[in-house]
Amino acid sequence: MRLANFLPPFVLALLVACGGGGGGGTNPPPPGPVNSVTLDRSTATMRIGEPAATFTATARDANNTTLSGKTVTWSVSQAGIVNITPNGASVSVTAAALGTTDLIATVEQKTGKATITVTNQSFPGSASVTVNNNLFDPNNVDIALNGTVTWTWASSPTDHNVTFGSGPATVSNISQRSSGSDSRTFSVAGTYPYQCTLHPGMNGTVVVH
C-alpha cells in the first residue's frame, strides 16, 4: 500500500508499455536457427547400374517451420558405396559398390541422414502400402521393373489421395477416398515421389528398379 503510493506515474506507464509490446501483434515470429534436418527418405535400396536417385533435405526451426535458402553440405559415412552429385538442397546418388552407407545432409551443424544399401538382390514384382491417418505405411517401397503397388485404405472416416509428383514417367493419381484399394503398375525405372495433397507431410515414394 505504502510502496504503491510511492511508485511515480511514469514507472506504471513503462510497465504497461512493455506488456503491450510483448504481445507481438499479428505477425508470426521470425524463423529461428536450424533445429532439425530430415531427408525425404530415411532408407533406400539401390542396385549398381540403375538410374540415379534423388534425395532432398529439409531444414526446420524449433517451431517445425521449413527454412529455405540454407546451405546444405552432403557427405557419406562410408566412401565408395555410392557416388553423389550435390545440387543445393538435393543430391543425385548412384550405386558404386555393394555395401551400406549413410547419406548425410548437414545444415548449420545439424544433420539428417538416409541409410542406403547397395545390393545385387532382385526386387519383388509387387508391394503393398497401407493408407493410414496421416501416413503411408511403409512410406517407401522398392519393386522390380513392371511391378505393381497396391494402396489399401485403413478403415477410417478420413479421405486421403495418392498424388504423384515428379517421376520418370506419368502415373495417374488415385483420387481421395476413405476405404478400399487401388493399384498402379510402373514400367519405367526410377523414383516416384507421391503425397496425399489433403495432409501436408503425408508423403511416400515408389522406387522402380
162 binds Cu ion (CB under 5 A): no
List own/partner pairs for 176-180 with CB under 8 A and 24 or more apart. Answer: 177/153, 178/153, 179/153, 179/155, 180/152, 180/153
Least CB distance from residue 91 to Cu ion, whole Å?
A: 28
Q: How many residues bind Cu ion (CB under 5 A)?
A: 6
Among 82, 95, 107, 202, binds Cu ion (CB under 5 A): 202
- H/E stretch holding 37 reads strand 36-39
Cα(175)–Cα(162) distance, rounded to whole angstroms?
Answer: 7
47 binds Cu ion (CB under 5 A): no
Q: Do residues 66 and 59 make contact, with C-beta atoms less than 8 angstroms apart?
A: yes
154 binds Cu ion (CB under 5 A): no
46 binds Cu ion (CB under 5 A): no
Question: Which is nearer to Cu ion, 61 or 182 (by Cβ)?
Answer: 182
177 binds Cu ion (CB under 5 A): no
Among 160, 174, 204, 205, binds Cu ion (CB under 5 A): 160
